[in-house]
Structure 1
């Protein structure tokens, strides 16, 4: 049997645009008239979807629509999506900061939330006083808080300032203390928005480690929102992808991250220059082709592929080069190659037009998506042209290396193994 600790049923949230309050007197009277007759609020039948990039036709917008999911005890659930997709609104509803327009939340146990820097802290109180205040809000007794306070202060790294009013803390210090309070006072459900991004690298590592610890050994549940896909992937086992206020997918975290990156990607296999440039060295056209010389960025894991670069030199330029950088979905550079890797001597790119062909061997990159950063420059002196966020490739596993799905790292080298039976 599943041990469900949190359940969202038909959650929707509607907001009125442009005004504070419910709107006009006529709208209030209309709502009241429908209510006394036992009928539904008439304004719940109208409203635009939550697409921030378009101009709507209604004064009402659905920040969330028909959200349904369950969370098991001890699960770490990632909630991801573009800015404005409804992630923070959902967390506020789950934390009972705001109420849903329709639907219900059923939870078992205390919920602690880190939604915004300083949420729940009184700026006039000291750090120590705020620990007791937050603990009381979470339903802890003074004795329970006192037994944890040394651990909280030590984890936060704010011991020197613990008797100083929080209004004098930096945003990073405030988040450190708030996270320590939420994590060590043992709520059954910990809800964390993007606030950890305020902390430094050391604190983020500590915080992620603590969240892993409380979920695995403490059996507590974590709901985590972040745009840091590396953190989401390392921490979460399952995810929810939100788009325009609706659930687009609920799946294992790797599938969710892949779908999210596809939402954000307008990358293609080919790019052509569509405007003039004053540079002395620039690209006219770039495209990716497979082993059959077809222009495509869908590459099978067992085939070679080629990056074709059309370069235009208005003048002869000494000590210049062209480089191609492969960047994975987490923003990490996997490898870089350049004209310096070519056997020919390119100390001077002479005036004229060129086609550069970069051959990438099969079975090097793991399956996944990669964006290309292609630049021509004089090292550390001058950048002539650069192409970013325009060309991508997707290495697809077509069953050739099916058992590589859980392989970590960046590459798939051709190792040589021997298997010797000794008896």
Structure 2
């Protein structure tokens, strides 16, 4: 039977809003004494924010645990406590083994040192000897794919290069517990696949325990043994990947399908693109019920904030269990001058079976690197009206009947 390697016991973490510290040493000592002699209340005061409240679960040796939840749900705070970057306000963590973590791009690296020097620096932090690193050095550099820049100071690295090297170091050095925060969100598709394969290898053959924060539900469903679902700092669910992810997607649907932004200044997006609206409209409703024989009209409008950038829009349709059913792309388009652009298409009637579905939209450049992405930005429930359900269709046929127009 696998042994628990990490135990979270009623972990809570609070922050005082608008305060960096007490005004005097006396106030700090009083606060510390109260913490030792009294059990602090979890009731939020006007100036106290509880990022985590009473989190308890255990992780067995060799398991891969996914951490999911909306932004601000406490995912990163929990991992920072495990990594000893933060101390819990209440509760205890019991664990054993060396921890290697990538909490955000650049964590643990010294910008003035080269990539090679940072490999040895990270190894020393983990307590490894130089000769141990030398044995794995070639493998670390090769996996990262940045051999040509290994002697360049990392302050000159792009975010993708940073994460490539950081993940390679963390995965190959002698650590028992690997903590990854949104590693799969950075880097191209090929590197993400390498990460997934490597994490499976670490868990299955080397017995390393991995905790990973990600919004990539498909990857988590395939990779993880258990899923931790956090909501507003509390443990909403801890269980098997498929039902836990399904519950999260159903309850955490993003409601920006009902919004039409008048200006790019307030619209969601980044410095390159801003989304005016995105919608799925059925051809008909009967008493607010959408049946599977409805044609589903997909429409997306967005602004480009940078001229002359090439963009391809990729639409995903997932089942609520996390299975990708449709992936369809627009042709690559040079956006020219700053303008409002529209993407539209239709999912034919009876193509999807009865059930719940969610849609994700990615904007990719000419190398298929993600410029902007919205996961679970739309969702829809289809009711059954026919006894015959279409089976799985090959992707080639899907591409022949589903077309996205990029105007």
Q: What is the TM-score of this pair, normalised by structure 1?
A: 0.66
Distance 2:289 2:134 in 1: 62
Q: Superposition pairs for residues 405-420 of structure 1, below 5 Å? A: none
1:3 equivalent to 2:14? Answer no
Given that residues 370 and 393 in structure 1 are in contact (C-alpha distance below 8 angstroms), is that contact kept between their aligned partners in structure 2?
yes
Given that residues 77 and 237 in structure 1 are in contact (C-alpha distance below 8 angstroms), is that contact kept between their aligned partners in structure 2?
yes
Given that residues 85 and 244 in structure 1 are in contact (C-alpha distance below 8 angstroms), is that contact kept between their aligned partners in structure 2?
yes
1:21 equivalent to 2:17? Answer no
2:187 to 192, 199, 205: 199
Shift of the 174–307 alpha-carbon distance from structure 1 to 2, 3 Å rule, reads closer
Distance 2:2 2:393 in 1: 30
1:75 CA drift (Å): 0.8
Shift of the 200–249 alpha-carbon distance from structure 1 to 2, 3 Å rule, reads same
Distance 1:396 1:307 in 2: 13
Given that residues 47 and 61 in structure 1 are in contact (C-alpha distance below 8 angstroms), is that contact kept between their aligned partners in structure 2?
no
1:2 CA drift (Å): 3.4
Given that residues 16 and 22 in structure 1 are in contact (C-alpha distance below 8 angstroms), is that contact kept between their aligned partners in structure 2?
no
Residue in structure 2 matched with residue 369 of structure 1 by the alignment: 357
Given that residues 194 and 226 in structure 1 are in contact (C-alpha distance below 8 angstroms), is that contact kept between their aligned partners in structure 2?
yes
1:98 CA drift (Å): 1.2
Residue in structure 2 matched with residue 40 of structure 1 by the alignment: 38
1:234 equivalent to 2:227? Answer no
Distance 2:42 2:377 in 1: 39
1:104 CA drift (Å): 1.0
Shift of the 23–203 alpha-carbon distance from structure 1 to 2, 3 Å rule, reads farther
Distance 1:13 1:266 in 2: 27
1:393 equivalent to 2:380? Answer yes
1:361 CA drift (Å): 3.7
Residue in structure 2 matched with residue 72 of structure 1 by the alignment: 60
Given that residues 15 and 50 in structure 2 are in contact (C-alpha distance below 8 angstroms), is that contact kept between their aligned partners in structure 1?
yes
1:119 CA drift (Å): 0.9
Given that residues 177 and 208 in structure 2 are in contact (C-alpha distance below 8 angstroms), is that contact kept between their aligned partners in structure 1?
yes
1:134 CA drift (Å): 0.4
Given that residues 326 and 371 in structure 1 are in contact (C-alpha distance below 8 angstroms), is that contact kept between their aligned partners in structure 2?
yes
For structure 1, which segment, 132-141 or 77-86, has the greater mean C-alpha deviation from structure 2 after superposition? Answer: 132-141
Given that residues 92 and 115 in structure 1 are in contact (C-alpha distance below 8 angstroms), is that contact kept between their aligned partners in structure 2?
yes
1:25 CA drift (Å): 6.7
Shift of the 14–408 alpha-carbon distance from structure 1 to 2, 3 Å rule, reads farther
1:309-345 Cα offsets, whole Å, 9 max, x none, are 9xxxxxxxxxxxxxxx983256967389xxxxxxxxx
Residue in structure 2 matched with residue 152 of structure 1 by the alignment: 140
SS of equivalent residue, structure 1 residue 45: coil
Distance 2:33 2:164 in 1: 50
Distance 2:71 2:360 in 1: 24
Shift of the 408–222 alpha-carbon distance from structure 1 to 2, 3 Å rule, reads farther
Residue in structure 1 matched with residue 317 of structure 2 by the alignment: 327
SS of equivalent residue, structure 2 residue 37: coil
SS of equivalent residue, structure 1 residue 196: helix
1:46 CA drift (Å): 5.3
SS of equivalent residue, structure 1 residue 85: coil
Distance 2:77 2:158 in 1: 26
Distance 2:258 2:92 in 1: 48
Shift of the 114–361 alpha-carbon distance from structure 1 to 2, 3 Å rule, reads same
Given that residues 326 and 372 in structure 1 are in contact (C-alpha distance below 8 angstroms), is that contact kept between their aligned partners in structure 2?
yes
1:85 to 57, 70, 73: 73
Residue in structure 1 matched with residue 405 of structure 2 by the alignment: none
**Rg (Cα) greater in structure:** 1
1:112 equivalent to 2:100? Answer yes
Distance 1:307 1:217 in 2: 47
1:288 CA drift (Å): 7.8
Given that residues 288 and 305 in structure 1 are in contact (C-alpha distance below 8 angstroms), is that contact kept between their aligned partners in structure 2?
no
2:289 to 296, 300, 303: 296
Residue in structure 1 matched with residue 167 of structure 2 by the alignment: 179
Unaligned runs of 5+ in 1: 49-56, 276-284, 310-324, 337-357, 374-388, 411-423
Q: How many pairs were matched up?
A: 326
1:165 to 134, 153, 156: 153
Distance 1:136 1:208 in 2: 26
Shift of the 366–158 alpha-carbon distance from structure 1 to 2, 3 Å rule, reads farther
1:199 CA drift (Å): 1.4
Given that residues 241 and 256 in structure 1 are in contact (C-alpha distance below 8 angstroms), is that contact kept between their aligned partners in structure 2?
yes
What do you get for the CA RMSD once the two structures are aligned?
3.9
1:186 CA drift (Å): 3.1
2:232 to 238, 244, 251: 244
Shift of the 203–76 alpha-carbon distance from structure 1 to 2, 3 Å rule, reads same
Given that residues 63 and 210 in structure 2 are in contact (C-alpha distance below 8 angstroms), is that contact kept between their aligned partners in structure 1?
yes
Shift of the 133–272 alpha-carbon distance from structure 1 to 2, 3 Å rule, reads closer
Distance 2:153 2:316 in 1: 47
Residue in structure 2 matched with residue 54 of structure 1 by the alignment: none
Given that residues 12 and 67 in structure 1 are in contact (C-alpha distance below 8 angstroms), is that contact kept between their aligned partners in structure 2?
yes
